[in-house]
Chains A and B, each alone.
Chain A
Amino acid sequence: MNSNSADNLDELEKKSIMIIREAMAQFKNLAALWSTGKDSTATLWLCRKAFFGKIPFPVIHLDTGCKFPEIYEFRERLAKEWNLNLIVAKNKEAIERGVSPENDRFECCTLLKTQALKDLLVKEKFDALILAIRRDEHGIRAKERYFSPRDENFKWNYGDQPAEMWDLYIKPSEDFSHMRVHPILHWTELNVWQYVKREGLPVNPLYFAKDGERYRSLGCKPCTAPINSNASTIDEIVEELETSMTPERAGRAQDKEKAYMMQKLRSLGYM
């Protein structure tokens, strides 16, 4: 780690918490999405810090039914430890129908994740969602704003985004179905691991190597490939990252499937 990384993490943290507090101040019905991955777990931790120890709004897990068992275990454990108001959202109807990535990955992501989220938002009337996406994850996410509106059809109008000047983030409007709030947009993959280490945050065991393989990004089991690695501690992961030239989401099929699949997914309301 370089010598000024401590200062750097402090600055990143302050900005993120300020953004989370702005969301609380501006919106009536806030919720956070949580995948149990390192980014959303770090974001939940930031929310705890923002609100003096307890997250005062629901935390949503989008369950596609094909997550790794480690994800379910981690979810239950942390929900108890951190006293989370956990909501598990599942598109049962589609799962029962047999929607799966073998037929059409795009449709599967859309129905099992995006649709499940849409249905929940309508039911609970959440007007803002905190998400842990970062700019360096994917070109399409790099286009995002800290506060990013979704229209009445849940769509992301990436061609015509509102201006975001300084730290005067966009307010709610009747024209938006909800706002996406992205507190760690400016963090890198390395920053997140450095922060996890510094704060002593719990980490999903899937990130650590077993039999020469580990997961760098956690998606659903059928569509997430592990990488070859022997990194079994956070320090080893950080070292591996500092020398790696492979992108984080290299093992995620949805990023590759069709050209611009991620762009299309996101424009229809995906994460």
Chain B
Amino acid sequence: MSLSKINLVVIGHKDHGKSTLIGRLLYDSNSIPQQKLQEVEAELKKAGDEGFRFAFLLDTLEEERRGGLTIDIMQMPLKTERHIYTIIDCPGHREFIKKMLTGASQADAAVLVVSAKEGIEDQTRQHAFLAKTLGIRQLVVAINKMDQVGYEESAFVKISQFLDEVLKSLDFLNTKMVPISALNGDNVFLRSHNMKWYNGLTLIETLDSIVEPSQSYADKPLRGCVQDIYDQHNGGVVVCKIETGVLERGKSVYLSPSGKIRSVEVIEMFGTQLDRAKPGDSVGLVMKEIQGIRRGEVISYPETRARIVKSFIANVILFSSIEMKNGDMCVIRCGTAERKCRMDEILAEIDPIKLTMNAVSPKSLTGGSVAEVKFEPLEPLCIEIYSNFPPLGRFVIEGKRGAIGAGIVLDVEYDGILKV
């Protein structure tokens, strides 16, 4: 049986045991080289510490080990019977949201770690909310540190009921929750002998049974992003990445925003000519008259063409301290396009920890804000609703030294006029 690849992000509040859980998962599945384990043990002996053994495997920065705090993300592979998981560990501290989002943006599914001892805390809610905002739909909960609450069923029931309410409000319905002890290994890989009252699956079994790889975008209408134009083959080659749908040789494509229609004569991928290019393929296209075709254009079929939007509404997360007010101009990057837009209006702001909507829409947003915002492009922009075309429905807001925010498009408004 062939194994599918899953990117799994582990999220949750600081010190609830995310790194310990991942370390445990890797350890129990024999994914860690012997030498690495010995290295870690030697360091721990020096430091005189026993308890954090597993987390140490991931916390490799000096600062992380000294402070017992994960600062950045790391990706480790884990093979089970069904999947090859790339596990992404995220920092739980509230100041590391930018890094958490980087990790979560690569995820197909998430494990939310909640400590049975400390209970639901700020980043528990915030991470679940951010995961949902970034479009993650598959979530499994690990109720950790059961060893610290005497492995009692009542502790598990109490916390899972509260958590279920929180998750329901985020549209995570019927979430599977597993009582575990990452430190001792109960119910992570191996069934626990300390929780006879629990009849469910272990964490690994739950993940294997529930999580599916991200769906293929091949059945959607064609969307491709022009990456570059190279001088080749007595003319030019348009280099582009197919994001959704299938591109067939010989067919005519529509380019937005220029409005050009061209026939695709040759599709080449890494030295081989193709009849069809599918999502994920980075191809070189030979077409006649490529003058004026630029990086940033979107390729589609004329019948289901990508259109320029008049305005769009998005869930936006800001992660720098830069303030953005109604009316401000910003640069939005989506696909390979980069366009100036105006932040028209903040429609609603959501407190990412309390998960309540602020009664009055603010006039400005700053680092940590999550809000529903209406944008108006000041230059022709093709952008799509995220649930229709995920790769073209997500964007970053560009700052001087990288992204200052990210967004997922909820709705778009088109111009009345169709360009032909």
Contacts and interface: CB of A to CB of B under 8 A. Distances in A.
Interface residues of B, number: 55
B5 interface: yes
A3 B227 contact: no
A14 B282 contact: yes
Contact of B99 (A3, A161, A250): A161
A140 B60 contact: yes
Given A175-B401, A246-B33, A247-B35, A163 B99 contact: yes
Interface string A174-193: 11100000000010100000
A163 B101 CA distance: 7
Query: Among the interface residues B34, B99, B391, which one has the most CB atoms of the partner chain A within 10 A?
Result: B99
B62 A11 contact: no
29 contacts: A4-B2, A4-B3, A7-B2, A11-B280, A14-B282, A15-B280, A21-B227, A25-B295, A49-B270, A139-B60, A142-B76, A143-B61, A158-B61, A159-B61, A163-B319, A163-B406, A165-B406, A168-B333, A168-B395, A168-B396, A170-B403, A171-B402, A174-B400, A175-B400, A186-B75, A247-B35, A259-B43, A259-B62, A263-B62
A176 B76 CA distance: 29
Nearest to A11: B280
A186 B281 CA distance: 17
Given A24-B228, A163-B101, A18 B75 contact: no
B102 A143 contact: no
Given A136-B77, A143-B60, A165-B102, A176 B401 contact: yes
A245 interface: yes
Contacts of B62: 259-260, 263
A165 B105 contact: yes
Given A140-B60, A159-B63, A168-B333, A51 B230 contact: yes
B55 interface: no
A60 interface: no
A8 B398 CA distance: 32
Contacts of A219: none
Interface stretch (B66-74, B139-147, B254-262): B66-74
B271 interface: yes
Contacts of A25: 227-228, 295, 336
B314 interface: no
Contacts of A174: 400
Interface in B55-99: 58, 60-63, 71-77, 86, 98-99
B130 to A, nearest CB: 12
Contact of A18 (B282, B284, B295, B319): B282
Mostly, the B contact residues are: mixed
Interface in A229-268: 244-247, 250, 259-260, 263
B237 interface: yes
B45 interface: no
B174 interface: no
A13 interface: yes
B241 interface: yes
B127 to A, nearest CB: 15
Contacts of A11: 5, 280
A145 B73 CA distance: 10
Interface string A129-147: 0000001100110110100
B232 interface: yes
Contact of B105 (A18, A21, A24, A166): A166
Interface in B301-347: 319, 333-334, 336
B36 interface: yes
Contacts of B403: 162-163, 165, 168, 170
Given A25-B295, A49-B271, A263-B62, A163 B36 contact: no
A244 B32 CA distance: 11
A164 interface: yes
